[in-house]
Chain A
């Protein structure tokens, strides 16, 4: 075998082959990227740019927002709703997740019950709560029939209705990541802790809860960010005073106040991104959104 098969002689063919092979993935991804840029990303960015360019390059719209009472009230209300809903889903979702993680024979049934609302559109679920909470809805009728009320309560079109409906709608997003995390805990750990003399509460506090934290954090992030942008549910079951940021944006677009709507959109988007960034930094759960795929 001669020593002198010059690698350089082979190089042209080799690099050409490699370049072509490198190009294939790019050609596969390019159609979708161009499609999304043209039909989604650039439209959104163009709209957002109105907040900075109306009528000339300016930050005036953001400055205006800082002193706007209506915005303050609605922004605070949106954050408050988000917090209440996140806390509500956590408190109600954790036990369900535990049930889901421990179930054996009942697992298919539990899974269907948790997934059914997940598979139902937000619109239909909001409608369900309109039926339930209305003046002549099931809740009022039942309470009246049991003699616990003299006249129907006003629940629909109040903040309470918004909170109940949103908790219901977002519960699966809290339950599924927590159940996932709980399922990955080695059951012998809890048994070992119990064997070492820890009572049920101590086992939960010191073993189960800390080990499920990644799922809890993913759930909190998902619910928080999703509820921040809620529009349909508050619009249907909330009252005029329960306006959220999303509703305010829609209202301003209807009034063709694009600069204001764009400014609000930028604030809403930035809030969501900041929260995601904080969670990603602190808990490394940014990938939660991959599994938000229903």
Chain B
């Protein structure tokens, strides 16, 4: 199956879905490129699944438009959209065998029996389950059922594949191996994937781009690194990874950075907006990017520094986790890779932490 470059482009334009006054999706606009792996990431109730259901055709938008390859599909019923979909809990037909499940979409399209058998076997090989055709779905493990669901969703060569938390029911190890497999499949097939999950790690591992959803809107959209390194708002900073939030007051600008006063010290932050001096702002910094100044890693300049007191120290194995308190009482978390060579700090001792200006984000 060489279908590289055969993915559909999808344009969501001011998409809205209201249920009796409650807005589940409130103006979502995303352009998804042909062959892209886009993840809709958000907590439950953020509108990600509703958005996916509208693309699939199971929900009708209250307003806005969905275009696939430039053509609006809003008026098209689900069964004529030709979109592959993998469901939460797989939704394999319990009364059909594995082969009948995978052959189902081909049968609907009038594919002859012999050809159907050939394509089914090909799809089973693609998901690494050759020879499983005669089994009943309930005889398979969760991971195997997941692969069958995947095979069923791609056997008819759709140009767009939707996935609704497909790995949610599996254990961590299986989830990780299937994540890699999905990436491989995405690369092999070259079709567009839209993936819904609430698991940020999953989203970071697999996606070309992630749209973080919050209360029916897109909070930020971009490649994983961008979302992690430069969150545009507090929600994204907190939802993806862990973040420290420091209250600060803007004092001025300097070489493209904002200078702000925080717990008695002046710190610099990268910033896309232009806050006025005197304005109260919040700065975000990732715990693993904070360092003790007297530790093994002297912070590369330009660096921000703060005096802190250690209030809690936890050894987690691969790393140490410290809870610190600044002079104005704000709590900070610092994560340090553990090493027998570094001195472990104890609660009550004072220290100085530093981190790079590039890792300081005004949110």
Q: Do chains A and B touch in the complex (CB under 8 A)?
A: yes
* Chain A contacts to B: CB under 8 angstroms: 1, 3, 5, 7, 10, 13-14, 17-18
Q: Are B75 and A10 in contact (CB under 8 A)?
A: yes
> Which residues from chain A contact B64 at a C-beta distance below 8 Å?
7
Q: Are A1 and B13 in contact (CB under 8 A)?
A: yes
Complex: A18 Cα to B65 Cα, angstroms: 16
Q: Are B74 and A10 in contact (CB under 8 A)?
A: yes
Tell yes or no: B45 within 8 A of A by CB: no
- Identify 5 residue pairs between A and B in the complex whose beta-carbon atoms are under 8 Å apart, listed by A's number: A1-B29, A3-B14, A5-B72, A10-B74, A17-B75
Q: Are B75 and A5 in contact (CB under 8 A)?
A: no
> For window 17-64 of chain B, which residues contact chain A by CB distance below 8 Å?
29, 31, 60, 63-64
Q: Are A7 and B60 in contact (CB under 8 A)?
A: no
Q: Are B75 and A1 in contact (CB under 8 A)?
A: no
Tell yes or no: B11 within 8 A of A by CB: yes
Complex: A18 Cα to B57 Cα, angstroms: 12
Q: Are A18 and B13 in contact (CB under 8 A)?
A: no
Q: How far is the CB of B13 from chain A (nearest CB, A)?
A: 6
Question: Are A14 and B31 also in contact (CB < 8 A) when A1-B11, A1-B13 are?
Answer: no
Complex: A137 Cα to B29 Cα, angstroms: 84
Q: Of the candidates A1, A3, A5, A17, which one forms a contact with B60 in the assembled complex, judged by CB atoms under 8 Å apart?
A: A17
> Which residues from chain B contact A13 at a C-beta distance below 8 Å?
74-75
10 more contacts with CB within 8 A, not counting A3-B14, A5-B67, A14-B60, are A1-B11, A1-B29, A1-B67, A7-B64, A7-B65, A10-B65, A10-B75, A13-B75, A17-B75, A18-B60
Tell yes or no: B327 within 8 A of A by CB: no
> Which residues from chain A contact B11 at a C-beta distance below 8 Å?
1
Complex: A144 Cα to B13 Cα, angstroms: 92
Tell yes or no: B77 within 8 A of A by CB: yes
> Which residues from chain A contact B60 at a C-beta distance below 8 Å?
14, 17-18
Q: Are B77 and A17 in contact (CB under 8 A)?
A: yes
Q: How far is the CB of A281 from chain B (nearest CB, A)?
A: 28
Q: Are B65 and A14 in contact (CB under 8 A)?
A: no
Q: How far is the CB of B28 from chain A (nearest CB, A)?
A: 13
> Which residues from chain B contact A10 at a C-beta distance below 8 Å?
65, 72, 74-75
> Which residues from chain A contact B29 at a C-beta distance below 8 Å?
1
> Which residues from chain B contact A1 at a C-beta distance below 8 Å?
11, 13, 29, 31, 67
> Which residues from chain A contact B67 at a C-beta distance below 8 Å?
1, 5
> Which residues from chain A contact B72 at a C-beta distance below 8 Å?
5, 10
Q: In which size bucket is the chain B interface?
A: 10 to 19
Q: How far is the CB of B67 from chain A (nearest CB, A)?
A: 7
> Which residues from chain B contact A3 at a C-beta distance below 8 Å?
13-14
Q: Are A5 and B77 in contact (CB under 8 A)?
A: no
> Which residues from chain A contact B63 at a C-beta distance below 8 Å?
7
Complex: A14 Cα to B60 Cα, angstroms: 8
Complex: A5 Cα to B66 Cα, angstroms: 10
**Chain B residue at minimal CB-CB distance from A16:** B75
Complex: A5 Cα to B13 Cα, angstroms: 8
> Which residues from chain B contact A7 at a C-beta distance below 8 Å?
14, 63-65
Complex: A18 Cα to B61 Cα, angstroms: 11
**Chain B residue at minimal CB-CB distance from A6:** B65
> Which residues from chain A contact B65 at a C-beta distance below 8 Å?
5, 7, 10
Q: How far is the CB of B88 from chain A (nearest CB, A)?
A: 24
Q: How far is the CB of B66 from chain A (nearest CB, A)?
A: 10
Complex: A14 Cα to B29 Cα, angstroms: 20
Q: How far is the CB of A19 from chain B (nearest CB, A)?
A: 12
**Chain A residue at minimal CB-CB distance from B64:** A7
Q: How far is the CB of A15 from chain B (nearest CB, A)?
A: 9
Complex: A10 Cα to B16 Cα, angstroms: 14
> Which residues from chain B contact A18 at a C-beta distance below 8 Å?
60
Complex: A3 Cα to B65 Cα, angstroms: 10
**Chain B residue at minimal CB-CB distance from A15:** B60
Complex: A13 Cα to B65 Cα, angstroms: 13
Complex: A3 Cα to B67 Cα, angstroms: 12
**Chain A residue at minimal CB-CB distance from B65:** A5
Q: How far is the CB of A138 from chain B (nearest CB, A)?
A: 50
**Chain B residue at minimal CB-CB distance from A12:** B75
Q: How far is the CB of B75 from chain A (nearest CB, A)?
A: 4
> For window 64-91 of chain B, which residues contact chain A by CB distance below 8 Å?
64-65, 67, 72, 74-75, 77
Complex: A202 Cα to B13 Cα, angstroms: 66
Complex: A7 Cα to B60 Cα, angstroms: 12
Complex: A18 Cα to B74 Cα, angstroms: 12
Q: How far is the CB of A20 from chain B (nearest CB, A)?
A: 10
Top 4 closest pairs, chain A to chain B, by CB: A13-B75, A5-B65, A1-B11, A7-B63
Complex: A5 Cα to B29 Cα, angstroms: 12
Q: How far is the CB of A4 from chain B (nearest CB, A)?
A: 9
Q: Are A14 and B13 in contact (CB under 8 A)?
A: no
Complex: A17 Cα to B75 Cα, angstroms: 7
Q: How far is the CB of B209 from chain A (nearest CB, A)?
A: 16
Complex: A7 Cα to B62 Cα, angstroms: 9
**Chain B residue at minimal CB-CB distance from A8:** B63
A3, A10, A13: which has the most chain B beta carbons within 10 Å? A10
Complex: A7 Cα to B67 Cα, angstroms: 12
Complex: A1 Cα to B69 Cα, angstroms: 11
Q: How far is the CB of B58 from chain A (nearest CB, A)?
A: 12
Complex: A14 Cα to B76 Cα, angstroms: 9
Q: How far is the CB of B126 from chain A (nearest CB, A)?
A: 33
Q: How far is the CB of A8 from chain B (nearest CB, A)?
A: 10
Complex: A5 Cα to B11 Cα, angstroms: 11
**Chain A residue at minimal CB-CB distance from B67:** A5
> Which residues from chain B contact A5 at a C-beta distance below 8 Å?
13, 65, 67, 72
**Chain A residue at minimal CB-CB distance from B11:** A1
